[in-house]
Amino acid sequence: MLYARSIGEEDKSMFVPAKARYFGVPPGRRLFRTVRTQLVHLWALALARVRLTRAVLSAAAREWIDTLRLEREAAAAWRARERALRSLGEAVYHDGAEETERAKARVAELDGQLLRLGERVRQVQEERQRRIEHAWHQEGPTEIEVPPVEPPGPVIVPEPEPVPHEPPGPVIVPEPEPVPHDPPGPVIVPEPRPPQAR
């Protein structure tokens, strides 16, 4: 550069700042990648929500339809049970032993049918709950199960053992002796005197 000045040429490169280097990533591409990644992420979240909502609504609709069908069957069974109870009452009133037994059997049969229908309604509700939980687990976030760490137990310190020695013999306790004292003698009571005047 010194040579260029001496011969009269201007060196403009000396005052031009260096060009920014991107090392293989052209400017703007990073922003485009970030926006595209965010859009793909949002699209996946929206799609997962739509799938989950569809699965929940499908399970609820199926349960609603099955429950309606079972409730219709249960209503018919209740009407038949009421008729069977009326016929049982009439048979008992008219003393018809054979008709009474048939009516009792019919009422017991209808009671069993109503219990089975109630059990099927419970199963339909459990199936709906199972389908919803399956949809949640299928679309939910990945959860890593960490094995539980066993807490360290208390440190067992051995008890110190006493130094061995000869066992003690029987304890000799002296017999208590009476305390010496004067033998009791006659009690001396002073004679009463007349009161003195002062």
Q: At what angle do helices 97-139 and 29-93 cross, to 10 degrees?
A: 170
The tens-digit pLDDT sequence of the chain (198 residues) is: 444 455 555 555 555 555 665 555 555 667 778 888 888 888 888 888 888 888 888 888 888 898 889 889 989 999 998 988 888 888 888 888 888 888 889 899 999 999 999 999 899 889 888 888 887 776 555 666 777 777 777 777 778 787 777 777 788 888 878 777 777 778 787 888 887 776
* Total-model pTM: 0.45
Q: Which two tokens stand for residue 165?
A: 């020695």
- Comparing CA positions, the residue from 130, 134, 125, 135 lying closest to residue 66 is 125
Distance CA 92, CA 84 (A): 12
Query: For the chain, what are the domain ranges?
Result: 55-139
